[in-house]
Amino acid sequence: MADRADRPYPLWEMLVPPSQFDRPDRQLASAAGSRLRFADGHEVMDATSGLWNVNLGYGNAAIAAAIGEALTEASYLSLFRFGHRYAVDAAARLVAAAGADTYRRVLYSTSGGSGNDLVMKLARQYAVLNGDTRRTLVVGFKGSYHGLTYGAFAVSGEDLGQQMYGVDVRQVRHVSPERPDELVRLMEREGHRVAAVVCEPVLGSGTHVVAPEMIEALLKLRAEYGFLLVADEVATGFGRTGPLFASGLWADAPDLLLTSKGLTNGTCAASAVLVSHRVAAAFEEKDAILVHGETQAGSPSTCAAISATLDEFTRLDALAAGARTADRLDTILRTLLDTLPGAAGVTGTGCFRSLRLTDADGLPLDAAQIQRTISLIRLEGALVYPGPGCIQLIPPLTSSDADLDDLERALRTGLATAAREVGNHR
């Protein structure tokens, strides 16, 4: 900020303009349980679970201890042309948790975006191994979000400035997640060229659940056209929508499952791609090398965190805790819909929800109005996430009754103020 020119600020903060850098009310100081403390001393209940990744709450001692032990015993071991026991153990645990009858191997990456880049490469090489060099297209959904690395940026279905950054979208197609007929028509035209379809079970932007009819169409068209089906469970994995993985409820499994956010409870830069038997076998039969690698992917500390997170899910009975939190969220949201001017609807499922907000004319609040609404809720003691015309509620699965009481109070008061100030309701 200009009035701090005598103390240069070295950090480039993400996704905010430079004029907003170095504000004490936005400087995070510490976190514990479901609470965040800021540099100016105020504390909030974090109903965003960090960036949707701290599913078990902050400061889990068992996960921290596992990371510390791994750093002491093996501060760094590479997966470039090597393996190590931490990576093998965590991979085995992930395969068992997701279903060993479906998945065979695990590839490690460092983020949801780089994991999406990896699956695009994997799907295209799989086609080549099967003798089909035409399959280069990757299909995503309009309104989807898969990350900001170049491949993931291309397949993301939101307009996030891809053209400005020179993102190459020539090998990408997008269809509406609500229109199976669009997907059918695309396949009729170009199905022979499609290497993969990437599907978030719940679209992260606005928490829109992909309809069962679309999943049914995807499975049917996969059988007909032979593309790989990728479940991008960066956000929905690790209990966020109810089951450990949302795609576990599909009538048939995806070929590739990408998980990231909850994978280490937010402690490490990590993602993992679970590879089906069919896809793994194609590489094994040709003894083919996948040309992908990341220096920090699958490091010992990361893999120890993955194994410890799975242990803590069992110890804390996190899926049952998440179901209780989701039930309470349902009650809170129904009450807000019944009593709050401008509350127009609810989307999402489990502990991954959005409350849609409108102004006095029934129009969705714009981005600036949503940000102001979030600020007003935060002043009342809770942090929620912005979405298109909505606020998103993504609390830890293990939220306590006291946490959810505080969230409900902050929402009720903050949204009432916003309805008067932002939405211009009388």
Which pLDDT score is estimated for 320?
Answer: 98
Categorise residue 141: left if φ over 0, alpha if ψ from -120 to 50, beta otherwise: beta
Angle between helices 85-98 and 300-315 (to 10 degrees): 40
- 23 in a domain, yes or no? yes
User: How many structural domains compose the chain?
Assistant: 2
CATH number for the domain spanning 245: value is: 3.40.640.10
| 211 secondary structure, DSSP code | P
Mean pLDDT split into 10-residue runs, the chain, 426 residues: 66 93 92 95 96 98 98 97 97 98 98 97 98 96 95 94 95 96 98 98 92 97 98 98 98 98 98 98 98 96 98 98 98 95 94 96 94 96 96 98 97 94 60
Instruction: Say whether both 310 and 335 belong to one domain.
Output: no
Task: Please give the model's pTM, rounded to 2 decimal places.
Answer: 0.94
User: What integer pLDDT is reported at residue 2 of this predicted model?
Assistant: 46
Domain's final residue, options 299, 315, 331: 315
In the numeric block, which tokens belong to residue 24?
A: 């004490």
Structural domain boundaries, residue 288: 61-315
Question: Directed axis angle between helix 401-421 and helix 367-379, to 10°?
Answer: 130
pLDDT at 254: 98
Q: What is the pLDDT of residue 426?
A: 42
Residues 46 and 173 in one domain: no
- Of 291, 315, 339, which residue sits at a domain end? 315
Place of tokens 């020539």: 170
Residues 10 and 73 in one domain: no
94 found inside a domain: yes
Residue 416 Cα to chain centre, angstroms: 29
Residue 94 amino acid letter: L
Contact 260, 111 (CB under 8 A): yes
362: left (phi over 0), alpha (psi -120 to 50) or beta: left
